[in-house]
Amino acid sequence: MLFKEDDIRPKALMAAKEALLEEDKEFLRSRRSEFVQAACPACGSGRSESWAEKEGFSYHVCRECRTVFMNPRACEELMRSFYQRSKNYAFWNKHIYPASEAVRREKIMMPRARRVVACCEDAGLRGGTLLEVGAAFGTFCGCVRELGFFRRVIAVEPTADLAEACRGKGLETLQTSFEGLELPASSVDAAVSFEVIEHLFSPAAFLERCGTFLKKGGLLVCTTPNIDALGTLVLKEKAKVVDHEHVNYFNPESLAALFERTGFEPLEVATPGELDVELLMNALAEDAGLRESHPFFSRLLLRPDEAAQAALQELLKKSRLSSHMWIVGRKR
């Protein structure tokens, strides 16, 4: 295992934010009258059925492509208001990200930067421009710049304190929403967006807008949770990844189909996650009811056998059953 959950989500800080998280949830629940019905965010089908209820929110599964999505969901204006006022996000930005940045840089962002560069090398994009949408602390952009592959690296970040953190790293930073971003059409060679599309009212509109900035043959790299993963297949809505912030849960096939219908050729869909086994172990250890409901996994995982756990994690990666999903698409 490259890292543990506590390395990137320190337990003490995660516990400290719980009250703020509940305030965020209550804000959305109190505005349920402003929620709207949604079609499948992957294939656009209006044919769906109930998948689960959790903490006052409803989730449907598409009958056509098996994408899970919150339905009804906050309208676009309410979503913007939610993220602008979110106390949980403010806490992450002020405390959790700074406390875990060194580990995130070494164990997540630098390997990710090398992987993006390798994809772009294969596509003949050396010396071009890379755009990151939702750059946060600028850790990824800093890693990419350090590798020296791209001539220009642009960080797009709407939050003032995070944009300032990007500038503090000497990055070219555009403090704007993606909707307000002004760049020439077909001026970007590669665009990346990590853990963003699961939060969006319309992922299709987001991908189409990314396509307007990309040159023909340019690459778009995204990461997002995989609903067809160990945690959600075993625990369903009890998995921590199912929450009020995530409104879209793709699987490898439906995510590739979404890229196809928004003008991209999917080149790679993979699930290179590292934490699935540990997350399920933690969930079982914390909840006697889950242990009783899942005796097989309790027996398999709640014993000191790190080699077996590591082997299972590798199997999940190879089988595209890890919860962390990665996709590379080429603009047609």
pLDDT in tens, 214-245: 999 999 999 999 999 999 999 999 999 999 99
DSSP state of 200: -
Query: Parallel, antiparallel, or unpaired: how do β-strands 264-270 and 324-331 relate?
Result: antiparallel
| Predicted pLDDT at 161 | 85
Strand partners, 291: none
Judged against a pLDDT cut of 70, whether residue 1 lies above it is answered with no
Digit-coded pLDDT (tens) for 66-108: 999 999 999 999 999 999 899 998 899 899 999 999 999 999 9
Digit-coded pLDDT (tens) for 26-69: 999 999 999 999 999 999 999 999 999 999 999 999 999 999 99
The identity of residue 194, as a single letter, is: F
**% of the chain beyond a pLDDT of 70:** 100
The Cα 94–Cα 113 span in angstroms is 24
Phi-psi region of 207 (alpha: psi -120 to 50; beta: other; left: phi over 0): alpha
Mean pLDDT of 179-205: 96
pTM exceeds cut of 0.85? yes
The Cα 63–Cα 47 span in angstroms is 6
Count of residues making up the chain: 332
Helices 139-147 & 110-122, crossing angle to 10 degrees?
A: 50
Q: What is the mean pLDDT of the chain?
A: 96
